Structure 1
Amino acid sequence: MGGRYRLQERIGSGSMGSVHRAVDQLLGREVAVKLIASLARTEEERSRNEAEAKVLSQLNHHSLITLFDAGTEVSPSGTSIVWLAMELVQGSDLSRRLSKGTLPPRQVAYLAYDLAIGLDYMHRGGIVHRDIKPANILLFDYREDETRLRAKLTDFGVAQMAGDPSPQGDEFTGTAGFMSPEQVRSEPAGPPSDVYSLGLVLLRCLTGERAFPGMAVESALARLFRGPVIPDSVGPEWAGVLEAMTALEPGDRPSAHEVSEVMQDLTRAGRGRRSTEAFEDPDRVRAAEELGPTVEAEGDPALDRITALTSRLLGVPVAAVSIVGADRVWTVSGSGTRRGSAAAQESLCPVTVREDTPFIVDDVQHDLRTAADPLVVASPGFGFYAGVPLRNAEGLALGTLCVMDRAARSLTGDQEATLRDLAALAADILQLRQDVRDARDTAGYVPAEPAVAD
């Protein structure tokens, strides 16, 4: 296709076309190529077939599938084939994953957060997806434990600009099991329609059951008269947000941005409390402020090797080990940055040492935990941050091993594990530095009557 993409096996199909694994022969990389065939013969008909490419070309967000290239080919018989070359996500879709059973609530919250910020980005750009369903949600780096579940939204074949007074003719604009009431009534579907459909997807993830079972017509009509049944087993926090997302009236539903805010809180459920007390602990502050200036001034080749290795393994431009005091942060080793100190408000490290677990922010400019941070506000080119607290033998979080990137991105489960392992090594080195310092202090103490060996 396009004189450059060699098609391989088919990896997906639907009413709008089929998707194949393919090789980009120019760049030597694997991609996904979607083929949409029709009998369109006029320019107007072909323009409608190219609608998905036009929608995707306007989108650039890590929670949405990325379009690389597109084109149209017409066979001698007049059949028009629209092809879309997109990023190939190495993983399953949510529909296949749910065939194995439900997802843990925290995993659902992670998934919902990714999708909600992606939808918020789309909606702010005036685009409505209109077909949110498990089969259109791609998962990657999924593992059978409590590691971070990540998702991308795909298949924009029936997307349209918000505010368009009419759907695309009389074409089908959704999937019966996850359509909003306004879609069932063939009314214009705005951003609240996507929020409703996402609510049904999340309910399916938590319960393992479709909210509106039955044949397509029966399933679609049922939601005109009632909301979905939300069992008590999902818990009060989930019940509240799901009821709001699936309200019958579009105006009663939260925005995608508001959903993402709620999911931020739900991702913390079961992760343990934040260790704010440890951050304010005077013993922690004293130990950090004794260690930080010394290591920053002297440097440490072992820490330098760790930050260089971290940068290389995770493919990030900046990796650093920092010590966090009461109002100062000392960068004691860095790859892509220099040693030095700065005020605490000019770093995300103070936030990291408050955490019991790694502090990972895929998009610092839009994540509510960081968007208002002075460092982020002053750094429009700052996109991604991940940090792990470095604890000493007493369990005090003296500093962090962190990585940063200019663009928003994600860490896979393996990458997060690698960051944890390297942080443990960095913590061991800092502990050795502290032990040596303590030993020197002890050796330098001379008693009034020193013992003399025979």
Structure 2
Amino acid sequence: MTNDSATDNTAANDPEANSSATEASATSDDFEWPARLRRRYTPLSLIARGGMADVFRARDEFLGRDVAVKLFRAAATAESDFRRQEIEVDVLARLNHPNLVTLLDAAVDRTDPVRPRIYFVMELVEGTDLKRRLDSGPLRNRQVAQVGYWVATALEYVHDLGIVHRDVKPANILIAVTNDGLTVNSKLGDFGIASIGNAQAIPDEDFVTGTVAYLSPEQARGEEVGPASDVYSLGLVILQCLTAQLAFPGPPQHSAMVRLINDPEIPDFVPDEWRILLRAMTSREPGDRPDIHDVAVAMGQFSFTESGRHRSPPVPVSIALPGPLPDEAFDRITAMAARINSVPLAMVSIAGHDRVWFTSRHDLDVTSIGMDAAANAPALIQSTPWVIEDATIDLRSAQNPLMTPNGSDAESFRFYAGVPILTADNTAIGTLCVLDVNPRTIDADALATLEDLAVMVMREIESLVIAHDD
């Protein structure tokens, strides 16, 4: 997002936008609300105000839900403005990903033909933007890993569609933190200067006051920009999450130029594995940076490792399930999961301090693997299923001893589908997963059944805890 437009989510202001906007009750008479919008959407409050557009919380009277409306001012109708807005609509209309802000509607209100008004209607996402959160200090390492993971997976999806965001920065990342502070979900927004395919340099007017602090060196040099540019920008964002400081502060021109000759400084307190990744992501040469897929894999592993490093395992696990002891009830559930999915192996895995224990398993000699190498790590940091259809082409399984991506081991598993085992407070303590030696797919109904079986596993664990306490 440029600083000439308001944010395209509902809970985050543009860095240069009027931060005094508050969510006070409103009517359509309080704002310049076009007639076409009034027929369906009722404004409730002003969320953010930028140089070219305002973002409102509004009520969709047809569907009975609250939405976000990004309304461009009539003055923002120059040819270049229309082009930028058309690009944003074109890009957003192609996207459907849980970590991207979803576009619901877009149109031009021509009630006043002299002053047409362009508007976008998007999902309403509660929370704050990452820039505002960082104003109060750095995030915990676990939170940083989660933010990095979600944004990287969103960018991987975008890049696979041939789209380069070109404006990855904290103000364009919406975050929601759970009450206990352990889990952070993120959504990437504002595709106002995105490109479909590699693109030439962004015109100066598009980032004069906006994204300079997060530009890649090739952007600063005015060269062609590709997916590697987003990787660099995300690297600076992750570093800022750890330090709450800009990597390249100062006036825009100085900030843009200094990255051409210096790498960002990474403080000594940053863990070594993070340092290696950040150094690669912020390499001045695009070809030396990792693919965004590899960044997502690394951030998922970091999140899992940090979870074990800073948080004791759940009490039910440590009391009732002290080791890889098979339980008859669990065996029935895993056998059911294997039969339903026609796979040779299903298992319940429980996270400990530093390992994942395979509590219930069939025909498997391995009883545990290191937490940082677990294929089910992502399922433990999200509340949705995690699927690897073919390990030979999916590097997310690269370090798991049960799965061999190069396909050299005929006994290795190539398919994995796991769902988290969740406590009442939505904390993941393990996974229920199915594996196959052959690559395959799994449909939504089968995943839903796995989730139901995971609930049964949690109930068995709770029963064991009660029995232990008695």
Paired-residue identity, %? 37
Alignment of 1:285-304 (within 5 A): 287-288=326-327, 291-292=328-329
Work out whether 1:347 is the aligned partner of 2:382: no
Alpha-carbon offset, residue 196 of structure 1:
0.8
Larger Rg: 1
Q: 1:424 to 1:224 in 2, by over 3 A?
A: same
Work out whether 1:179 is the aligned partner of 2:215: yes
Aligned equivalent of 1:365, options 371, 382, 387 = 387
Aligned equivalent of 1:324, options 327, 331, 340 = 331
Q: Distance in 1 between matches of 2:265 and 2:80?
A: 43
Partner letter of residue 153 of structure 2? I
Q: 1:44 to 1:221 in 2, by over 3 A?
A: closer
Q: Distance in 1 between matches of 2:77 and 2:381?
A: 50
Work out whether 1:158 is the aligned partner of 2:193: yes
Could you say which residue in structure 2 is the equivalent of 1:308? Answer: none
Alignment of 1:366-405 (within 5 A): 368=396, 385-388=419-422
Partner letter of residue 20 of structure 1? F
Q: Distance in 1 between matches of 2:125 and 2:302?
A: 26
Q: Distance in 2 between matches of 1:420 and 1:247?
A: 42
| 1:70–1:83 CA contact under 8 A, matched in 2 | yes
Partner letter of residue 294 of structure 2? E
| 1:389–1:400 CA contact under 8 A, matched in 2 | no
- Alignment TM-score, normalising by the size of structure 2: 0.66
Aligned residues: 368
Q: Distance in 2 between matches of 1:155 and 1:136?
A: 6
Aligned equivalent of 1:88, options 91, 114, 124 = 124
- Three-state SS of the structure 2 residue aligned to 1:271 is helix
Work out whether 1:49 is the aligned partner of 2:85: yes
Work out whether 1:111 is the aligned partner of 2:111: no
Q: Distance in 2 between matches of 1:349 and 1:18?
A: 49
Work out whether 1:259 is the aligned partner of 2:295: yes
Q: Distance in 2 between matches of 1:406 and 1:39?
A: 46
Partner letter of residue 463 of structure 2? I
Q: Distance in 2 between matches of 1:106 and 1:18?
A: 34
Q: 1:406 to 1:75 in 2, by over 3 A?
A: same
Alpha-carbon offset, residue 80 of structure 1:
3.1
Q: Distance in 2 between matches of 1:134 and 1:45?
A: 23
Alpha-carbon offset, residue 14 of structure 1:
3.5
CA offset digits 1:99-136 (Å, max 9, x no partner): 11110111101110000010011011011111111111
Alpha-carbon offset, residue 252 of structure 1:
1.0
Could you say which residue in structure 2 is the equivalent of 1:227? Answer: 263
- Three-state SS of the structure 2 residue aligned to 1:347 is strand
| 1:401–1:426 CA contact under 8 A, matched in 2 | no
Alpha-carbon offset, residue 330 of structure 1:
4.0
CA offset digits 1:279-309 (Å, max 9, x no partner): 9xx9967752xx33xxxxxxxxxxxxxxxxx
Q: 1:112 to 1:389 in 2, by over 3 A?
A: same
- Alignment TM-score, normalising by the size of structure 1: 0.68
Alignment of 1:7-156 (within 5 A): 7-37=43-73, 39=75, 46-76=82-112, 78-143=114-179, 145=181, 147-156=182-191
Unaligned 5+ residue runs, structure 2?
A: 1-35, 359-370, 372-376, 389-393, 405-410, 434-441, 448-452
Alpha-carbon offset, residue 169 of structure 1:
5.4
Q: Distance in 2 between matches of 1:435 and 1:211?
A: 52
Q: Distance in 2 between matches of 1:427 and 1:389?
A: 10
| 1:36–1:49 CA contact under 8 A, matched in 2 | no
| 1:182–1:188 CA contact under 8 A, matched in 2 | yes
Work out whether 1:188 is the aligned partner of 2:224: yes
| 1:388–1:401 CA contact under 8 A, matched in 2 | no
Q: Distance in 2 between matches of 1:262 and 1:138?
A: 21
Could you say which residue in structure 2 is the equivalent of 1:272? Answer: 308
Q: Single out whichever of 3-12 and 350-359 deviates more from structure 2.
A: 350-359
Alpha-carbon offset, residue 181 of structure 1:
1.3
Q: Distance in 2 between matches of 1:86 and 1:222?
A: 37
Alpha-carbon offset, residue 372 of structure 1:
7.1
Q: Distance in 1 between matches of 2:222 and 2:51?
A: 19
Could you say which residue in structure 2 is the equivalent of 1:427? Answer: 461
CA offset digits 1:67-104 (Å, max 9, x no partner): 11111113526233221111111111111111111101
- Three-state SS of the structure 2 residue aligned to 1:103 is coil
| 1:40–1:79 CA contact under 8 A, matched in 2 | no
Partner letter of residue 346 of structure 2? S
Q: Distance in 2 between matches of 1:105 and 1:283?
A: 28
- Alignment root-mean-square deviation, CA: 4.3
- Three-state SS of the structure 1 residue aligned to 2:193 is coil
Alpha-carbon offset, residue 187 of structure 1:
2.0
Q: 1:96 to 1:345 in 2, by over 3 A?
A: farther
| 1:199–1:245 CA contact under 8 A, matched in 2 | yes
Partner letter of residue 275 of structure 2? A
Q: 1:71 to 1:208 in 2, by over 3 A?
A: same
CA offset digits 1:304-331 (Å, max 9, x no partner): xxxxxxxxxxxxxxxxxxx138xx8245
CA offset digits 1:402-425 (Å, max 9, x no partner): 9x9939x9xxxxxxxxx9999765
- Three-state SS of the structure 2 residue aligned to 1:130 is coil
